[in-house]
Amino acid sequence: MNLLEKFPNIKILKDEPLSKYTYTKTGGKADYLVFPKDRFQVESIVNFVKDQQLALTVLGNASNLIVKDGGIRGVVIMMTEMKSMRRIDSNTLEAESGASLIKLTHLALDHSLTGLEFACGIPGSIGGAVYMNAGAYGGEVKDVIDEVDVISRDGLIKTFKNPDCHFSYRHSIFQEQNDLILSVRFKLQAGDAALIKEEMDHLTHLRQSKQPLEYPSCGSVFKRPEGYYTGKLIQDAGLQGHRIGGAEVSKKHAGFIVNVDNATATDYTDLIAFIQATIWKKNQVRLETEVRIIGEDVD
């Protein structure tokens, strides 16, 4: 494989440490880290990867990821250079997959469009938000999605209407199909800019007061188990402040694991396993991770 010679016009980094990009500041190296600028560049890379039978991983803004310390073999596409967004008709915004969800909420405010306020503090990309069906404060991305354009691993471009995405709590069909999300159209409602701003300011204040935003983290580590609050389970088990290596159960929000002292991905995964085992023993509740854990262990 000589990816750099084959694609001289695409930004490609070899043996690149992913800890430079993940929100936890942990993780090993990608063999090749590729930053396509548009869907044609994505298409070229996907077709090359298919022909060469290489492994392919896609990242958005890496805010919901733990990349293991052994890194990721093959080609890793990071979408963050595909970040254009615009209004395409009175109530519809379109964004490329690497665009920031937070910036999209600002564009919605600029056009007095309501529906995206809940997302004003979620630090993901558009693609990552759709893949995860990200949500907060009673809203979910699924509530405002019209259509999603993807490219399959075979190089086919397809469009999914909202019902075809099979959204549910922190889940979309893309978690099973492995398509790469290219762009997304959002249907919003005409609103009052002052009220939209007031709601966004209120939610930002709530987030700042409750979440340990001063440390690197990947947000809520676990999904909410039916009938329980994850943070309360972890808090009641006395795990707040518990540390493995440089990873610590946040003292401010028990659902977060923060990198307080040069944590490794192994510190994170060991602490996750410890929390799961403790809560199972104490409450017989299985905590399933919301954060995606990918890559290889160190040999």
Residues of the shown chain interacting with ligand FAD in the complex, contacts defined by CB under 6 A: 23, 58-65, 79, 97, 122-125, 127-129, 131-132, 134-136, 174, 180-181, 211, 213, 217-219, 292
Alpha carbon dihedral 161, 166, 172, 173, in 10-degree steps, equals -80
User: H helices within 123-216, ranges in order?
Assistant: 126-132, 174-177, 193-210
CB 78, min distance to ligand FAD, A? 8
220 as an active site residue: the answer is yes
Nearer to ligand FAD, 23 or 48 (CB): 23
Question: What is the dihedral sign for C-alpha 188, 101, 49, 265?
Answer: negative
290 as an active site residue: the answer is yes
CB 112, min distance to ligand FAD, A? 24
CB 155, min distance to ligand FAD, A? 15
Determine if residue 241 is left, alpha or beta; phi over 0 gives left, psi from -120 to 50 gives alpha, anything else beta. Answer: left
Determine if residue 262 is left, alpha or beta; phi over 0 gives left, psi from -120 to 50 gives alpha, anything else beta. Answer: left
Distance of CA 214 to the CA centre of its chain: 19
CB 268 within 8 A of CB 274: no
CB 256, min distance to ligand FAD, A? 7
Catalytic residue among 125, 183, 217, 220: 220
Nearer to ligand FAD, 215 or 274 (CB): 215
Nearer to ligand FAD, 5 or 62 (CB): 62
Nearer to ligand FAD, 139 or 283 (CB): 139
DSSP string, 69-97: TT-EEEEEEEGGG---EEEEETTEEEEET
User: What number of other Cβ atoms are within 10 A of residue 191's Cβ?
Assistant: 17
Catalytic residue among 170, 185, 217, 250: 170
C-alpha span between 42 and 169 (Å, rounded)? 29
Distance of CA 89 to the CA centre of its chain: 27
39 as an active site residue: the answer is no
CB 240, min distance to ligand FAD, A? 17
Nearer to ligand FAD, 3 or 129 (CB): 129
CB 168, min distance to ligand FAD, A? 13
List, in order, residues 6 or more apart from 208 with CB less than 8 Å away. Answer: none
C-alpha span between 93 and 195 (Å, rounded)? 19
Nearer to ligand FAD, 134 or 263 (CB): 134
Q: Which helix (H) or strand (E) holds 4?
A: helix 3-6
Residues tagged active-site: 170, 220, 290
